[in-house]
Structure formats: C-alpha cells, structure tokens
Structure 1
Amino acid sequence: MPFDREIFYIEEIKLAESLELTQQGLDEIVDFLQASTDESIRLKEWLHFVVQNYVTKQQPIRIFSREGALAIASYLDLRGDATQISLKRVIALLDKYSVNQIDAKIRRALYENTSSLVSRNKRHWLNREDVVRIFITTSSRLEQAFRDIQRSDFPMRMNIDFEDYDGMRFFSLSGLEKLSIELSLKLRSEERRAYCKRVSEVAPPVLEFLAIAPSPEPKQIEQAMNFAKNRDQKTCQVTGVVRDKYNQRIELVGHHLYDKNAYHFLSADPDNILTIDKRLHEDFHQWNGGTQKTCTIDDFIDYVEWRYPDKHELILTLHNKQRVLMFKLAQVQRTLPESRD
C-alpha cells in the first residue's frame, strides 16, 4: 500500500536532528512508544509513521506524520523538564516542511503550466489560462483579483504588469507578484492564502530558468535513452527482466522520471531516464491517468510502492535519484540573474 506523501513526509534523520538525537536514539524511543500499552503515548503505524523500507528487518527507515513528530516531542518534554523545548523544535521543523511542500507544489504547477511562456520587451509573459492553473483558481476569481488591484492605490500597469496580446491577456512576473499578494490577502482558506503568497517568491527564478532552458533535439533524447539502456545493462530496473538472445520479445524503453515535455530541460539527462519493460511502462501510465497526464518521479515511486512493495532497494534508489535531479534543478536556478521585471 503506498503512503500518502501529504500526510507522511518527515524524514527520520531530519526529525532526529531537530530533537538533537541520533537516529539510533530516535529508533529506541519510537520502538518503546510503539510497544507501550499506555494509549496516551503509544505510536501507531499508518497514523504516526509509515515504514519506507528496511535496511534489515530489524532496522526500519520511517517517515513520520505531523501527529507522529508532535507525539514524540510531547513525550520527550513530558519525560524531561517540561519546558517544551522538543515541541518548539519540532514545530519549527514542521513550519519549514510546510513551506517546502508549498514551494514544491508551486514549482510543479509552473513546470506543467507554462506552455504560453514568451519573452517580449525584456519581460517574461504567461497567458491568463496558465496563470489560472498556476494559482489553482478559476478564471472568474482571477478576474475579480485583477479588478480589485485596478481599484487599489497600486494598479497594474499596461505593458509592464499585463498586456492584451493577440486577443489574449498576459501577465508578466511583476503582474504575477501583484496577483500573488492580492489573492494571499483576500482568499478565505488559510491554506490557499499561504500557497498564493509563496507564488511571488517561487515563480520568478523558475520562469527565468524555463525561459532560457534549452529544449534538447529528438536525436539528443534518443541518444540519452540508448545510453541509459546500456548503463542499465539492457535490464528492466523494476522486474529484472533482460533483453538478450533468449528474450527477444522483451521490449525495453527509457522512462522519463520527470515528464519529458513538462520538464523538457531534463529530457536528455540520463539521470532522468530509467530502463523498464514496455508493458510495465504502459501499465504505469494507465495507472497514473494516461499518457497525456504529466508525471514525476514521485508518481513512479508511488506506483512501485503499490505494485512492487517488496522492491526496497529500488525504492531507495529512486529516492536517491529524486534528490539528484532536484539538486540539479536547484543548482541551475541559483545561477540565474535577478528578475528583470
């Protein structure tokens, strides 16, 4: 059964560092609380934590929920001098995770909804439809935000913050920032306000990057896929099936962990390509909602955890690949100049 990454997201190494414990020390506390007969402190799997995988059967690697992290901190404070130091540390960690989760959602929305991105007059522009999807709102709500801004002391400026081009409205980075502020102040949901507020921080470097990131040629993508197949010894990295003279009917494909269209800048990167059986590839895309739906490595990890829950080593490898690819993104974006808008 795959776990919900919206609920279980706190890595045990980060939780241990926050509580100033070793991982072994945290394991001992969790094992004690899990075995406790006292319902007020007992930790439960699938409520407070899930086991991501095992190093050995006796050494689970856990991912904690917010409730699990708070329960452990509360126990440590109860056992100590009751100054709530552990609780304060965990709350600070949760706040950091919360921002990171929001930022990750925004980046994904940007990668998947920037087909209209163009550069004109030294500014980057997105059409209204893409902006609606990035803010996860409706056209009518975005239009209301625009009208409210225009009635304010700091309205959007034509050809600077917005423009009507070829019968369609476009917004620049500065226009996106004004919409971000307006929605973060006016929306009813605290969660939605927090999301919209972060758009103004996350969007500029991502859009700057997307505007200049090269799109590899089909030949370069094909070369990268062939390289990945040779690197993987022409073996499906999930099932272990090999294409050789005895298994000619096996067809292997290079699966892009981050969709090659939405994440075009990674399409010719061998680190983003995994060799798998074509039938498995088709099954994954069907499970994920069809070939037209954008996928990421998170989706593939969920799929493997659901279909092949005993593939602990593969799941760990995928998590390591995820870190490598996100690090590459972060490195590229940090080299970008400040927004010109």
Structure 2
Amino acid sequence: MAELYITSQKLVETLKIATQDLIDAEEFFDSIPDDEWELTQGKDYKVVNKTTGLREYTSSGAYTIARYLEATQKQTFWQRLTEWFTHTKREISKAFIKKHILDNSSSLIKRNGQFFVSRSDLVTIFKTRSDYLSKMAEHTQKTQYPLIKGEDFEDFVDKGGLHFSLSGISKLSHSFKECQSKKNRQEWCGDVGVVVGPQISDIVAEIQNREKRIQTAMDKVKKRDHNTCQVTGQKKNRVDRLKLSAHHLYSQNGYPHLADVENNLLTLDVEVHERFHQDYMGGTTKPCTIDDFISFVQAYYPSNAKVVIWLDAQKRVLGNPQPEDQRKPHVLYLPASRVI
C-alpha cells in the first residue's frame, strides 16, 4: 500500500490544536535541525506548496509532531493520532476490497428478491482457493448460523452452478475470519462481509442509472437528427407514423462503454435497422462496428454519400475502441434485467 499522508489541516483537526500550534512546531523543527527532535523532509513529510510551505505528514512525521506537543504542552495527543491513522488505513483497506468486488462480480444476479454471486467470483473476492471455500462452507455448517439452501446459497443450473447470496457471503466471511492465522487475512475476509452489501447496492444503482443514461442518449439523438432516418431521409411526422430506432454504431454488447455516448448513435428507420442487424450482420446478437455500418450503407444505399462522410467523422471522434470480453463482462455492463 502506498504511503499514507495526513494533511496539515487534518492533523490540526485530529490533534485538536490551533493552526498556529502546528506552525510553531514546524518552525521549531526547522530552526534547530540538530535538536533531539528530528523531522526529515522526504521521510516524515513532504512540501505540497513551495510558496506557502504547506506540508503533508507521514505517520512517522505526524507522530513526531504529536510527541513534541505532548512534551511541550503536557497534553495527550498520541492516542488521537493513532486512532486517526488506524481508522484511515482501515477505510483505505475497505476501499480496496470494494474495488476488488467491483472487478470480480460479473456473475451478479437477482433471484427470489436476493442478490447472488457465483462460487468462482467469490473465490476471487476472498482471495482463496476453491477447495478452501468448500472447507469454509463446511465449517459454517457447524456454527450457530449455518448456510441455508435457497436463502444463503442456490444452484443455478442456467448460470453455471453454485451461487451465494449476500447473507451467505456474510456467514462465510465470519468463518474465514475465524479460521485465518494471519491478521491481514482476518481483516480482509472479515471486511468482505461488511462491505459486500453496500457495495452491491451501489453497483446495482449504477447499472440502473446506466440504463437510464442510454435511453436518454437515444432520445437526444433522435431529436438531434430531427426524427429523421439518416439513411433514407424519411421523417417522422403526424401523418407518417414512421418508427425510428437509435442505432449503436459500436454495438452495446461488444462495446458497452460506448452505449450512452451520443456520438456512437444514429437515428434509423426501424426497417433499415433490422435489415442491417438481421440480414447484413446475421442477427442482433452479433457485435458490430462503425465500419460494418459504413459497408452496409455503401452496399445498400450507395447514393447516400453524406451519411458515409458523417460516419467517417464519427469514427475519428470515437477513436479505436476495443471490444469488451463478452465471456466475462464487467458487472457495470450487465443488463438491468439481471438485477431488478
């Protein structure tokens, strides 16, 4: 883990001292370098503003300041500082665990009102082995709160097998923590059970918000294109009830990170849209790119050079996006239907 720094302002707040007390202490250390009290730049602190001399302190530097103030002011500062560093380091550790869950929960699914994660994802989240997870599951069955089928775990044949619910993960977390010999492993496994619920809630909220952003982008693009098919030129009006679609130039399934980007969308007549996906690409599940659509327009609508020019311009704007691994999509790109 990278070195943890505490800002001067936070140090003042934590020690409950006046700003001038800290400035006086800094000036003391700067003026008497050979004194019994030592504060070394690069080791104990770093200067973040050379003009004002504003500093941020490492744990060793902050502790030195606290000890100096205790000696000169006859007050207890050490415990306050220790509590701050302990709390902050714990929160940083939890943040790492949350990120680890975010990166390893693509199996997330909601069934019977509960959220479940696959066994394989859980092995990764706990940073363990499959056989050891089984051992912890067996251990949990001997505790006061055993795993209950249908509530804490379930075998989803259509989703690859065994999945654990948030309550099941919490129970496993207690078993892991109880059986670990290393303190860092105890804390990691214990904190998984603490943060997994709130983290999954935040993930689900983001998935739902993403769906809304995609729909908003599609609606905006239709307005941008004046409710007109950009290939045929047909316009939707009160007489001609033309059905329009917002087409993703880089498909949602292959390039989900571009799904809510307006530059990646183009308004099409539904029939043109279906003709491209079904007839030209071979099905709506086939990933497509802007080059595929350019080829389609040139083959079926060769007189529409204007849209090809526009498409080429969008291609330059969007750059060279890389497709997502569809075998294991990121959890944030899961369809909202899986988690509602």
In the other structure, the counterpart of 1:205 is 198
| Contact 1:34-1:44 at 8 Å conserved across structures | no
Structure 1 residue 14 and structure 2 residue 10: aligned? yes
Q: Which amino acid aligns with 1:69?
A: A
RMSD: 3.5
1:210-249 matches, cutoff 5 A: 210-213=203-206, 214=208, 215=210, 216-217=213-214, 220=217
1:216-295 matches, cutoff 5 A: 216-217=213-214, 220=217
Structure 1 residue 70 and structure 2 residue 67: aligned? no
Structure 1 residue 97 and structure 2 residue 88: aligned? yes
Cα deviation, residue 90, structure 1: 0.6
Structure 1 residue 112 and structure 2 residue 106: aligned? no
- Residues 160-194 of structure 1 deviation map (CA, whole Å, 9 limit, x = unaligned): 11112124221101011011111222212212212
Cα deviation, residue 36, structure 1: 3.6
| Contact 2:173-2:192 at 8 Å conserved across structures | yes
For 1:194 and 1:89, locate their aligned partners in 2 and report how far apart those are by CA, in whole Å: 22
Q: Which amino acid aligns with 1:135?
A: F
Structure 1 residue 191 and structure 2 residue 188: aligned? no
Change (3 A) 1:49 1:139: farther
Q: Percent identity between the aligned chains?
A: 26
Give unmatched runs, 5+ long, in structure 2.
221-254, 262-315, 326-340
Change (3 A) 1:183 1:79: same
Q: Which amino acid aligns with 1:67?
A: S
TM-score of the aligned structures, taking structure 2 as reference length: 0.58
| Contact 2:136-2:175 at 8 Å conserved across structures | yes
Cα deviation, residue 115, structure 1: 1.1
| Contact 1:118-1:211 at 8 Å conserved across structures | no
For 1:192 and 1:218, locate their aligned partners in 2 and report how far apart those are by CA, in whole Å: 43
Cα deviation, residue 209, structure 1: 2.7
TM-score of the aligned structures, taking structure 1 as reference length: 0.58
For 1:68 and 1:12, locate their aligned partners in 2 and report how far apart those are by CA, in whole Å: 11
Change (3 A) 1:162 1:220: same
- Residues 241-270 of structure 1 deviation map (CA, whole Å, 9 limit, x = unaligned): xxxxxxxxxxxxxxxxxxx97xx8xx88xx
Change (3 A) 1:153 1:114: same
For 1:171 and 1:95, locate their aligned partners in 2 and report how far apart those are by CA, in whole Å: 31
Pick aligned residue for 2:72 from 60, 66, 79: 79
For 2:77 and 2:58, locate their aligned partners in 1 and report how far apart those are by CA, in whole Å: 16
Which entry has the higher C-alpha Rg, 1 or 2?
2
| Contact 1:117-1:126 at 8 Å conserved across structures | yes
Cα deviation, residue 109, structure 1: 1.5
Structure 1 residue 157 and structure 2 residue 148: aligned? yes
In the other structure, the counterpart of 1:171 is 164
Cα deviation, residue 121, structure 1: 0.4
Cα deviation, residue 92, structure 1: 1.7
Change (3 A) 1:147 1:17: same
Cα deviation, residue 73, structure 1: 0.8
Change (3 A) 1:26 1:217: same
Change (3 A) 1:121 1:191: same
In the other structure, the counterpart of 2:52 is 59
Pick aligned residue for 2:28 from 32, 53, 65: 32
SS of the aligned residue for 1:8 comes to coil
Q: Which amino acid aligns with 1:172?
A: S
Pick aligned residue for 2:138 from 128, 133, 147: 147
Cα deviation, residue 7, structure 1: 1.5
For 2:127 and 2:205, locate their aligned partners in 1 and report how far apart those are by CA, in whole Å: 25
Give unmatched runs, 5+ long, in structure 1.
224-259, 269-277, 283-289, 294-341
In the other structure, the counterpart of 2:264 is none
| Contact 2:145-2:171 at 8 Å conserved across structures | no
